[in-house]
Structure 1
Amino acid sequence: MLKLTMLISAVWLLNSGLLDLQGRGHLGVALVDAKTQEDLYKLMNFLFTTYKPEVRPTTAGEATYVYIGIYLLSIQNLDEKSQVLETSIIVDAEWVDDYLSWNASDYGGVTSFLYPQKKIWLPDIVIENSVESQKQLGYDENVVYVDTSGLVNWKPSQVIKTGCDIDVTYYPFDTQTCNIIVSTWMSTSDDIDIDPDQESNGLILDRYSVSGTWELISNDLENLPTEKGLTRIQFKIKLKRLRTFYILNIVLPVLFLSFTASMVFFLPADAGEKIGMGITVLLAYAVYLTIIADNMPQTSLQVSYLAVYLALLLGLTAMGVVLAVVVLHIHHKSEECRIGKRTKKVTRKLRTLLRINRRNAKCQGGSEEESAPKKNVMGKGVGTAGSNKKSMNSVSPLNGDVTFTPPPSYKESKEEITWPKVAETLDRVMFFITSLLIALTTLIFLPILAFGEP
């Protein structure tokens, strides 16, 4: 084992220029014994004197079978707007090179070695659905592993960008399915036949680093139909978006804003802030709608439920601003402008139904104890204007008890309807209607977003 390790190190240093032909490094220390070095040179001469990396390595003329596996290292980014998945991978490819086999006993027991990839035949494998210009996998200084049977193992690492069709329907509670398709560039199935690694059923996750945005919930592979004679295999990745960030930064702020949209109708007209408050909430919704639109692809194939929800809230808020203008116009109408009988009748009914008149009466008339007549210790009633006024107090002839008769001001009468009261009533009605519409919209769309994804 030690001998093999020293041999591999010697080949690597020899190619990098750190080892001279006498097996000595720059410090003059022998790294490989003379026998191993001679065997290695003899093997290199045997294998590569007439070797041509441009020629496909087969002696019988049959197709070269290349077995492919992919190690997924990390998910760098999934750009929803440009619909591009960026991943870091290692392609694990194996094939048999008939021109690189030898008998180990003839060469000092050398069973394997590492060699630069540019000096060995490589299959023209590409990432078919890459959104970048096609280029060779790996780099010239990358090495391949070769053993006595001619088995070549090539593991180029690369950051790739592949196209991914994004479905924004349930954003940000969505799952996405993306594919990595590996195929030959020009070689047909008669020359190179790509097959998936027999030991894996998808991406190899031994070295995978967890993403902070996406959760990998499943992966699979399949052989795709031959297209123009090219063999193709597809690695399918299913990703689920981690939701905590989006709940804290998008969903909850929008939910809190929805509670304030109807408060513009609860604000008194004399406060002078109705229009300002409505426009502020309207602009806040517009900002969040813009943020979501910037993160989504410009497509009409799917419609985001969150975008629809925000658009509806934006419409309700805009309607609230318009109605607030109408309410202010009614509130500031001149007293000389008469109010119609039907308007008065409807206003009185609504104010009674919404208990607006009773609230105003409590706020303006004081408590019941302050308005009730006082009694002396003998049970004689003491009126507010004197006990000798019959309009205020009367004495029962049987027992002398005082019976209090309310003055005219205590008798119930029809409330006088003015334009400010009409505006106040309209405000209160629109407050309840808008609050109901916002609540219904929220109860319909949020469960669909949270639980509607299949």
Structure 2
Amino acid sequence: MCRPLVMLPTLLVILLIFSDISSRGQLGMAVVEAANQSELYALMDFLFTGYRPEVRPSTAGEPTYVYIDMHLLSLQDLDEKSQVLESSVIIETSWVDDWLSWNQSLHGDVADFLYPQSKIWLPDVVIENSVESQRQLGYNMNMVRLDHSGWITWKPSQIIRTGCDIDVTYYPFDTQTCSIVVSTWMSTKRDIDIDPQTGNNGLSLNRYSSSGTWELLSNSLELLPNDHELTRIQFTIKLKRLRTYYIVNIILPVLFLSSTASMVFLLPADAGEKIGMGITVLLAYAVYLTIIADNMPQTSRQVSYLAVYLTLLLGLTAMGVVLAVVILHIHHKSDDCKIGKRTARMTRKLRILFCLYKAKRPHTVVNVTETDAKTQEYGTLCPRPRSRGTVAPLASEAVSPPPSYTQNVQEEEITWPKVAETLDRIMFFFTSCSIVGITALFLSILTLAS
């Protein structure tokens, strides 16, 4: 029972030894951090004493090679009407500044450190095809990393808005090609030479977040010819529009609406709704055409097939309203206005063609012979019964031939309501065939485009 009391002093001694060792270690780390901090202060004084950030770092007058790698973060928006691509990017830029290099072993083994971008020289790199006023990349307190070998790494991130020529021919089954051009603002090729990072064939997509409207098909990099001795590189991206939203909200409603345009001519003239239905469909097409026009750039270089399709349907519907008025006028013509023989004959043929002809039930005319007249005078002559052995009737008992019959069919009387009904049926078939043909052509074009 006394062993725990004997071992207690030993445990206390061990704890004191470990606490002393840990305190010495923390003190040593604090001394090292203080040493690194003082070395860093001394290094900054060494580097930036007499340093001028507005002077390009060049010891022998050679150009400064600036290497650029652009990371695409996301596609914010592609405004078809204003033809502007809005994207979020990080422009990773690096170059060698011989005036900001140091011997690592002489400065406390400090390999690199961060420094505000406003206090060192930066290349005057801009987004050439930006639709906004040119401004410096990054911001004053944005940090750059300085390496002991003189390499400077600068990663400004921002949202850029660049111009993009929109081709709306196959909208909304279209693909667009947009570019981002990076160039110097005032420095010529003798001052700054812009080059892509080694092995860089386009935008870096390791941080890219996909868009809900556009699918990124491909991207590429191209070195552009010097313009006024300015070096330029171009990043090109190819985008494909995601179609589900447009199919559900535009294409299918228009197709359903097109099936109702010809139904105006199936309504009876006495229903009183022909003009109202035609105008309703006409206004619906006008609304959809307005929606499409609001999303299109105001240009005449390309014409959208969807806009042409809606315009043709709008024209057919407008023609249907006009013809419905004419048909109603014919339907309500007075009976005093006689129908010409040619009109009646043509109407009768068309009614037969469209299964509208309704002839009156025929009546039978009997040609009465002299024998039949006697029969009608003296009564019906019934044949006498024959005996079993009789093979043929006697001459006096010969059966008279049956009376002859002729049928007179009365032709349908053609009236103005029937003329109007015939025109209704003709226009129904014509409008339906036109809509089906135009729709099939439109869908085939969009299918080929996709």
TM-score in terms of structure 1 length? 0.82
User: What does residue 112 of structure 2 align with?
Assistant: 112
Determine if contact 1:217/1:238 at 8 Å carries over to the other structure: yes
User: What does residue 356 of structure 2 align with?
Assistant: 356
User: What does residue 275 of structure 1 align with?
Assistant: 275
User: What does residue 442 of structure 2 align with?
Assistant: 445
CA distance in 2, matches of 1:186, 1:297: 33
CA distance in 2, matches of 1:141, 1:398: 133
User: What does residue 364 of structure 2 align with?
Assistant: none
Code of the aligned partner of 2:416 = W
CA distance in 2, matches of 1:339, 1:221: 77
CA distance in 2, matches of 1:98, 1:283: 71
Q: Deviation string for 1:105-132 (max 9, x for gaps)?
A: 0011111111111111100000000000
CA distance in 2, matches of 1:31, 1:128: 50
Q: Structure 1: 5+ residue runs without aligned partners?
A: 1-28, 366-389
Structure-2 change in CA distance of 1:124 and 1:397 (3 Å):
farther
User: What does residue 201 of structure 2 align with?
Assistant: 201
User: What does residue 300 of structure 1 align with?
Assistant: 300
CA distance in 2, matches of 1:450, 1:243: 12
Code of the aligned partner of 1:61 = G
CA distance in 1, matches of 2:31, 2:119: 24
CA distance in 1, matches of 2:384, 2:210: 95
Determine if contact 2:174/2:449 at 8 Å carries over to the other structure: no
Give identity over the alignment, percent: 70
Code of the aligned partner of 2:422 = T
Q: Deviation string for 1:10-30 (max 9, x for gaps)?
A: xxxxxxxxxxxxxxxxxxx96
Code of the aligned partner of 1:111 = A
Q: Deviation string for 1:371-430 (max 9, x for gaps)?
A: xxxxxxxxxxxxxxxxxxx9xxx9996999xx9x9998xx53200111000000000011
Code of the aligned partner of 1:433 = F
User: What does residue 427 of structure 1 align with?
Assistant: 424
User: What does residue 9 of structure 1 align with?
Assistant: none
Structure-2 change in CA distance of 1:47 and 1:426 (3 Å):
same
Structure-2 change in CA distance of 1:147 and 1:416 (3 Å):
same
Q: Deviation string for 1:170-211 (max 9, x for gaps)?
A: 011000000000000000000000011112100000000000
How many residue pairs match? The answer is 391
Q: Deviation string for 1:280-315 (max 9, x for gaps)?
A: 000000011110000000000011111111110000
User: What does residue 416 of structure 1 align with?
Assistant: 413
User: What does residue 37 of structure 2 align with?
Assistant: 37
User: What does residue 284 of structure 2 align with?
Assistant: 284
CA distance in 2, matches of 1:240, 1:396: 94
Structure-2 change in CA distance of 1:398 and 1:341 (3 Å):
farther
The alignment partner of 1:123 has SS state of: coil
Query: After superposition, where does 1:34-433 map in structure 2 within 5 Å?
Result: 34-358=34-358, 412-433=409-430
> Displacement of 1:31 after TM fit?
10
Code of the aligned partner of 1:432 = F
- Quote the RMSD (CA, aligned, Å): 2.5
**Which stretch of the first structure deviates more once superposed, 273-282 or 34-43?**
34-43
The alignment partner of 2:318 has SS state of: helix
Code of the aligned partner of 1:143 = M
CA distance in 2, matches of 1:268, 1:397: 59
Structure-2 change in CA distance of 1:334 and 1:397 (3 Å):
farther
Larger Rg: 2
